[in-house]
Amino acid sequence: MAQYGDYQLEIYGAGLKGVLPRWPVDFAGLESAAAAALPDWILNYVAGGSGDERTQRGNAEAFGWWGIVPRMMRGAYERDLSTSFCGVDLPTPLFCAPVGVIGICSQDFHGDLAVARACARTGVPMVMSTLTNDPLEDVAEALGDTPGFFQLYTPKDRDVAVSLIQRAEKAGFRGLVVTLDTWVTGWRPRDLNTANFPQLRGHVLANYFSDPAFRALLTDAPEEDPRAAISLWSRMFGYSVGWDDLTWMREATDLPILLKGISHPEDARRAVELGVDGLYCSNHGGRQANGGLPALETLPDVVAAAGDVPVLFDSGVRSGADVAKALALGARAVGLGRPYAYALALGGEEGVVHHLRSVLAETDLVMAVDGYPTLADLRGPGSIRRLPQGVA
């Protein structure tokens, strides 16, 4: 039976013929190569975080504060990485987290489609951002049979919000991921120092410009008067979702609803009481608010408060070992963000496929070597332990 870890055998086998990997298999290599490949205005927007970026760094560093406890003599010859949440069965617990400027990270500015095609080839779900360079219907088509989820930045105009949600359901997306922490943009010095906000220049607004409810608010079509359309979008952006909004969202769609940005157990409990289908523990990769706890540190409390409701996770994930640790702490699925954006910048669709396979391979091999043949085993008691303070 083939296992995801066998990808390393492909790489070593190709090496015997003098063929080396076209792109790095590690995050540090991807980050360094992407820094040379991307224009500064895109690189800084993707790589940057809020404030002095301490929270962003802490997200990644927090994984070093935890360690999986190896179990021996368990014969984990075959590993089962399958998982499920919100009625969707998945071969692995990995997904591509929403990146609002992924469309401009590829050389042809159609990164959303390239990522969707890579997900279709690997079976890794894509959580597609509201902010794309191609309409959501085209992205859904490119995903094929691989599940996609639609992430919503809720606009102030209710009709536009409902239209986006219903378009996503009609297009075949399997869930609605409502982002809670981006009704206002965080303080981002890298972007502020260059006065760089891609959306105000008309990038990644295809879902709005193609939306009938949005277009109905314009005198002229977006393609005829893009400045007016951009201005309308900027006035519409910035709605702070409240608990009462779950009522009209439920009325608008039959899709499962997941709340993204949940980090406090009281918020998790309130969401569960109100009947949400899933929670998404994340601090937006450190892009929105500096000075907060690393997301990984909040994950165990959110999982405990969620009970049987599945918890997704992202923020600071850089490797397959990181994925395994987040799973051991209770995440049902784990999302990649900046890493796959860098892979896209370097190799387009093929680069993303390579990166996803690399992360899955390492996750699989960590489970094999440490003696955890299933995700249930990995989540079992005693599988992970926090290092003594100061060791990491």
The answer to whether 100 is annotated as binding is yes
CA distance 126 to 200: 25
The answer to whether 98 is annotated as binding is yes
The answer to whether 129 is annotated as binding is yes
The answer to whether 158 is annotated as binding is no
The answer to whether 282 is annotated as binding is yes
The answer to whether 352 is annotated as binding is no
Using the structure block, give the residue that is written with the tokens 């391979």.
361
The answer to whether 270 is annotated as binding is no
Catalytic pick from 110, 203, 264, 284? 284
The answer to whether 188 is annotated as binding is yes
Q: Is the dihedral of CA 225, 231, 234, 236 positive or negative?
A: negative
Q: Give, in order, the Cα–Cα distances in Å from 182 to each of 199, 240, 285, 344.
A: 14, 8, 12, 24
DSSP assigned state of 80: B
> Residues 6 or more apart from 146 whose CB is under 8 A from it?
119, 120, 122, 123, 124, 125, 126
Residue type, position 38, single letter = L
Residue type, position 207, single letter = N
- Show the tokens assigned to 150: 């639609």
The answer to whether 284 is annotated as binding is yes
The continuous run of DSSP H or E covering 366 comes out as helix 338-370
The torsion region of residue 106 among left (phi > 0), alpha (psi -120 to 50) and beta comes to: beta
Strands 278-281 and 83-85: unpaired
The answer to whether 337 is annotated as binding is yes
The answer to whether 338 is annotated as binding is yes
Q: Give, in order, the Cα–Cα distances in Å from 295 to each of 1, 79, 129, 283, 381.
A: 35, 27, 20, 6, 21
The answer to whether 359 is annotated as binding is no
The answer to whether 315 is annotated as binding is yes
Active site residue 284: yes
CA distance 107 to 179: 28
The answer to whether 99 is annotated as binding is yes
Residue numbering of the annotated binding site: 45, 98-100, 129, 151, 153, 179, 188, 260, 282, 284, 287, 314-318, 337-338
Residue numbering of the annotated binding site for glyoxylate: 45, 153, 188, 260, 284, 287
What amino acid positions are annotated as catalytic residues?
284
Residue numbering of the annotated binding site for FMN: 98-100, 129, 151, 179, 282, 314-318, 337-338
